[in-house]
A and B are shown apart, each in its own frame.
Chain A
């Protein structure tokens, strides 16, 4: 039996929102993922339903027909009660190479100065931490990463840039993340990740799942260029390890 009380309510005719307490908490995220896995494996037809989990909620979407809420809501409550024994999917820790060269880290110097850190201290702190993927959205392959150390918290840039490079690694507020494609953006850019976070040509276009862990490691410009080429010809091997916590 799960220890959290959840709220279940319709979200239009094609979706239903299940919400946990309004907190960023890994225990909550794990309860959500356990429930999600139980729904996918034992309760709902995954050829019809889509599941979007983020922070303290999961939204179940049935695009092609209206949902019978009177029937589904009591069953969801029952399934949530039952899912305690089931497990969440295997999680992985992904180690992602980031080049913190100032060619890429266009805000690196400014950020270091504002945070009263040297550039190497900043890189050390950014790479020491293990981040949790609390959601994927905003753009294809964009991860909402939690776990940025307090010492690296810095407001968004006052004026967003019209163009942020694909792969740009940024920090803003309590968050850090990677821009999976060129886009406008207001985060402070400190480096660039050579691994594409979204590849539409792959059967699984985004290797990361909500609940996974991410850690960055610093690479030199030459390694960045090499990984980039390896990525393009499809021989780059990602570093991943099973995460059981």
Chain B
């Protein structure tokens, strides 16, 4: 068992998400920054479906009751193992009684803690990803416990990865969305010549952007939306749907983020600047 002594601001368990229930309105969920999360699972030789801990802004304090191996990455946060600072994308052996403690966030927004063979939180319709109320919890609280399987001797093929940080990247690659054709010259200029910043309303469901563009009066029938879909509201607000985002919507879907762009945006917080660059699909 893992004892969650302090849970942090919003700590969840996430795997690669749910498959096969979009037609019943169930969001994909899963790790927001799939770029960092999948690197960590790879480093530990885990399957890409192994569940990691997603740490948001301020992290937890964790007591391990079984030996295992861990590594962490994503947002730049100072983290200690028994009070000794540890590095990102490097495997650490954990002994019974070890304590991992998260400190100050330096850059980015979401950090991932991967564990050998993944966390064993309850599987609900094919995934361990927290998504309330499908799962009983929306995030970890303290004190609480989490299951994982003990691992005594793991012979890692590589013990650390060199990962180029993308936390400073601010250009999001986008493809045209289904309703891109509705945009006029003025809106196109506003979209691609200016910077935008993350508004106060941002979470695992969606990131709203602070700066508006010219609005519209187009009404359309409800249709599918995806993680990374950018919706334009009649008043000109831009809403970027993320992993817990709704599966259908009625606002024009003007742009679609690339996979990498979703990971880049997932590391942004209130006030951070971004811009869009149109690429061909």
Contact = CB atoms under 8 A, between A and B. Distances in A.
Interface residues of A, number: 42
B158 interface: no
Interface in A125-143: 134-142
Contacts of B258: 12-13
B22 A138 contact: no
A54 B22 contact: no
A138 B221 CA distance: 13
8 contacts: A12-B258, A19-B178, A55-B221, A59-B223, A136-B25, A144-B248, A205-B26, A210-B23
Given A141-B24, A205-B125, A69 B281 contact: yes
Interface in A178-204: 180-182, 198, 200
A148 interface: no
Contacts, number: 117
B247 A137 contact: yes
Given A12-B228, A139-B246, 9 more contacts: A14-B259, A22-B221, A52-B23, A53-B23, A56-B221, A135-B248, A139-B25, A140-B25, A142-B25
Contacts of A137: 25, 222, 224, 246-249
B182 interface: no
Q: Is the interface of B mostly helix, strand, loop or mixed?
A: loop
Interface string B125-162: 10000000111000000000000000000000000000
Q: How large is the interface on B (under 10, 10 to 19, 20 to 34, 35 or more residues)?
A: 35 or more
B23 A136 contact: yes
A133 to B, nearest CB: 11
B28 interface: yes
A57 interface: yes
B221 A205 contact: no
Interface of A: 9-15, 17, 19, 22, 24, 50-57, 59, 61, 63, 69, 134-142, 144, 180-182, 198, 200, 205-206, 209-210
Given A17-B224, A55-B222, A138-B246, A11 B256 contact: yes
Q: Is the interface of A mostly helix, strand, loop or mixed?
A: loop
A61 B178 contact: no
A24 B223 CA distance: 12
Interface string B14-28: 000001111111111
B23 A11 contact: no
Interface in B199-254: 220-224, 226, 228-229, 246-249, 253
A11 B221 contact: no
B188 interface: no
Nearest to A142: B25
B171 interface: no
A15 B224 contact: yes
Nearest to A24: B221
B22, B224, B226, B249 — which one has the most chain A CB atoms within 10 A of its CB?
A: B224
